[in-house]
Amino acid sequence: MKVSIAEARANLSKLLHAAGQGKEVIITDHNEPKFRVVPIEPAFPLPPEGNYDKFMKEFRPIRQKKSAKAGAEMIREERDER
């Protein structure tokens, strides 16, 4: 879909909705294509409806194990080694 800047200004919400539905919107300036409005890809996959628990099990970030020693204790040990 091609529209002029003036048309885009007047119908921005409709154009954004169209882009969100997967349609490519080209905005022209004096009949020259200048801008393309397309939806962005999500940073991470969205869960399918009704499968949230399964989704979270598969994509839950891996947590690192906490160090047995506190940071202050590790600093003291390193100082003592010098």
Domain assignment present for residue 71? The answer is no
pLDDT per position as a tens digit, 16-72: 999 988 899 999 999 999 999 988 876 666 666 767 777 677 766 655 556 566 778
Alpha helix stretches (DSSP H) within the chain: 5-10, 12-20, 52-59, 71-81
Phi, psi of 71 (to 5 degrees): -55, -45
- 16: DSSP letter: H
pTM: 0.50
Q: What CATH number has the domain bearing residue 35? A: 3.40.1620.10
Domain assignment present for residue 49? The answer is yes
Domain assignment present for residue 35? The answer is yes
